[in-house]
Amino acid sequence: MRFGIIGSGAIGAYYGAKLAKSGEDVHFLFHSDYDYVCEHGLQVNSVNGSFHLDSVQAYHNAQDMPKCDVVIVALKSTNEHLLKTLLSPLLKEDTWVLLIQNGIGLEEDFVKTFPHTGVLAGLAFICSTKTKPGVVDHTDLGRLNIGNYNCKDDDRLHQLADVMNHAGIDASLVDHDTARWQKAVWNMCFNGLTVALNTQVDKLLDCEATDTLCRDLMMEVIEGARACGVAGLNEDYADRMLNMTRKMRPYSPSMKVDYDHRRPMEIYYLYSRPIAEAQAHGYEMRRMRMLEEQLLFIQQSYINE
């Protein structure tokens, strides 16, 4: 199975490297890392066992990449406008695209641009960062839930999951809408709150007041999902997410990293879109609306510098 990786950062490079290590045909699009990876390869420092890829099929231009069976898109959603240019050269009639991105509404918007392409949601529960060229630091977790949005071939879908599990990726096939909102429960709580309070996830849970706030925020997302008709989310899920997070190593989620580097934050798909979806179904996510407005203020303060 031939894979393309668009967005070879902390997430895309990690999963792509795992697939390449297992013998899959993987082609990576790099930006700033390109020269370094061509010369030195790709290093993954992982809690599950570190490894190095001496030879990487690396590209600096998507036009030079081959057509692929599956393209993993791990770009930040702030770069969605680049997809038409970056993705089109890799597509053939039966290519599937796996969007490992955070937020609600991504697949719906994707098919407006690529109406004839099969698309899957990739929900990564992983702690990984890339703080220097060609090196991924994987510090915790690693599960990848795959939600089918519009792909028709169930046998091929199971084959994809089998390939990923063979590569050491803990991949599971899940209901699309449930999976997106399940990930939103964690993301909408911790991404924005770590920015608004300028802290790490563990610090939030070490304080009784913010620990309670985190649960309240999670419950509001769960109520928003229920209003949108999503089944399988209840109070127990919030408690499981909090317990899982308490066991994680100290960690800054992706939005906090973007804030620290004064980059645009993924506010639209992580906050504005799910808030609007819940509102359209009669539920007001008041706490999340306040957090969204705080994030917009914070972002404006440095984007306009």
**Long-range CB contact pairs, 255-259, < 8 A, 24+:** 255/191, 255/192, 255/194, 255/195, 255/295, 256/191, 256/194, 256/195, 256/200, 257/129, 258/76, 259/195, 259/298, 259/299
Handedness of CA 269, 272, 273, 277 (dihedral sign): positive
CA distances from 23 to 7, 53, 57 (A): 20, 11, 12
Residue type, 67: K
Question: Catalytic residue at 21?
Answer: no
Q: Which two tokens stand for residue 229?
A: 């008709």
How many CA atoms within 13 Å lie on the side-chain side of 32?
Answer: 6
Identify the active-site residue in 183, 203, 247, 256.
Answer: 183
- The catalytic residue positions are 183
